[in-house]
Structure 1
């Protein structure tokens, strides 16, 4: 039997915690993921939640981020499990269960992968919540900005390459985490790929959104794919690339594709406004190892709670790798 992914595992856990005639008020929880996490439902409200435990000094309530559709609070009556403090990330009654599950699954995966000192793990937990806080505050009924348009085109270019390498469409749509505010754009079982796209002819500015984005963890390989495009009238536009992917994804990938496009903020109603054509010019893929220049959670002082920064990838002078070989880890095949 295949292992459940975090999204399916959470939904299954919450279903198993459905109320019965003997259910009393308070938290009902079960272990989920690795170590410090539990899926929970609080009665009588019946709110779904992800509970995470830490052995740290409890922060003030005002230090906990809150967001549209979810709340974060200290949980006083959760099982200790060897941890001093438990926090609950709970869905608000009117919020979308699908969106909340995507967020909880991302936090679960990120916290489960975190190793080492408790305070750093706690800051990583907060970092992902703050990232989702910003994500959920973005307006959804507008045209994508030029930067967002280019970023989505870059990610779709990667989807197109994965499809051409024979990776099953359903697998690609599951691994494609960028639209759902994932820590990295593509996250497989053991390999992650972050995509950065530019149209700058000189220099390659790459914005890194957090200390965790380029932080490699034990058991996983992290790659950064740098894609340079030029603007050409005859080159594929964003809507043209979307249609190519729709045709290639077929029935097996259509639902996942449309969900990801929705999460990315792409709406066919605005298709006529995306007139820029993107011609591929250059591609470099770096494996994130010790020599790669970056700021990370595992090396930053504890006093640095969060950071965003910009790299110039044209100045990164380390060996690159073949992207096609990375695709094999996602289930693709090398071309002869």
Structure 2
């Protein structure tokens, strides 16, 4: 999952600890407890503010002790084989302490809440090449076309594919479904559900993105950083990052394993009634899942210009 990482617990015996090397305001230690579990210990004079709901991290035990001096936050890993993802989490908390001087404890607890959500909804596996291409295409359309036309708030609000909607983008007057394909593999795209090309919102457009993997291309993290760097609203930033993470992209884990792509071509098709698709009324309601492929080389009569649909 995470490559070339040094395990800070390997040289520790049980009930031992060593100080975290990074320069931070509070004491932080790599530890092994009495049961030989890997852990992170953070000490400070301030109280660790308990969230409204108990923090439960899958595979990780969280202990808060505000009765001692100094106060302590202890994270313990239940299975040592999962040390890599645990180290990513610990380093994320350490970076929060290193980069902030005020309200450090509040920020650390917020990061724990974020990790709780991440560990609940994803297996934290690396994104496949196809998954990267799909997310790359949606981010590229968002960044290069929707945001310049509609602004950050409206565009990010309209990005609903990660939330389980039928199409990837839903605006007031149109719906957009994004599909990516390798430019070297032919001009065809996979439709992965009966809902994707059937929308209650009209018009519906299929945006087909021809992707090439090249050394000098962009990664998902390049696009994410470009968008987040221009967002000055914390709530909007949180909404955007939550949607990105719902696709399975977690920057702390995957930034070193991402492919570089270039968008070679974008073709937009209006999905009218006669467009080659499987209609709802052609499918039994008992069929809950289907997948089919469309050869776009025969769909020229449905092509429109991307600038014409964003009105």
TM-score range, shorter chain: 0.5 to 0.7
The TM-score with structure 1 as length reference comes to: 0.52
What is the alpha-carbon distance in structure 1 between the residues aligned to residue 308 and residue 229 of structure 2?
Answer: 25
Q: 1:264 to 1:298 in 2, by over 3 A?
A: same
Alignment equivalent of 2:204, drawn from 222, 244, 249: 222
Contact 2:189 2:296 in 1 (8 A): yes
Matched, 1:249 2:228: no
| CA offsets 1:286-306 (integer angstroms, 9 cap, x no match) | 000122101021333556454
Instruction: Please give the root-mean-square deviation of Cα atoms over the aligned residues, in Å.
Output: 2.4
What is the alpha-carbon distance in structure 2 between the residues aligned to residue 267 and residue 142 of structure 1?
Answer: 9
Contact 1:227 1:283 in 2 (8 A): yes
Q: 2:194: which partner in 1? A: 211
What is the alpha-carbon distance in structure 2 between the residues aligned to residue 214 and residue 313 of structure 1?
Answer: 14
Q: 1:229 to 1:250 in 2, by over 3 A?
A: farther
Secondary structure (helix, strand or coil) at the match of 2:302 reads: coil
| CA offsets 1:197-225 (integer angstroms, 9 cap, x no match) | 112414133221221211143x5211000
| CA offsets 1:118-156 (integer angstroms, 9 cap, x no match) | xxxxxxxxxxxxxxxxxx997431211111111000000
Contact 1:163 1:249 in 2 (8 A): no
Q: After TM superposition, list the pairs within 5 Å mapping 1:80-229 onto structure 2.
A: 139-217=122-200, 220-229=202-211
Could you say which structure has the larger radius of gyration? Answer: 2
Q: Structure 2: where are the runs of 5+ without partners?
A: 1-118
Q: 1:298 to 1:248 in 2, by over 3 A?
A: farther
The CA deviation at 1:241 is: 1.1
Alignment equivalent of 2:219, drawn from 218, 237, 244: 237
What is the alpha-carbon distance in structure 1 between the residues aligned to residue 139 and residue 127 of structure 2?
Answer: 15
What is the alpha-carbon distance in structure 2 between the residues aligned to residue 274 and residue 182 of structure 1?
Answer: 28
Secondary structure (helix, strand or coil) at the match of 2:267 reads: strand
Q: 1:270 to 1:205 in 2, by over 3 A?
A: farther
Secondary structure (helix, strand or coil) at the match of 1:211 reads: coil
Secondary structure (helix, strand or coil) at the match of 2:304 reads: coil
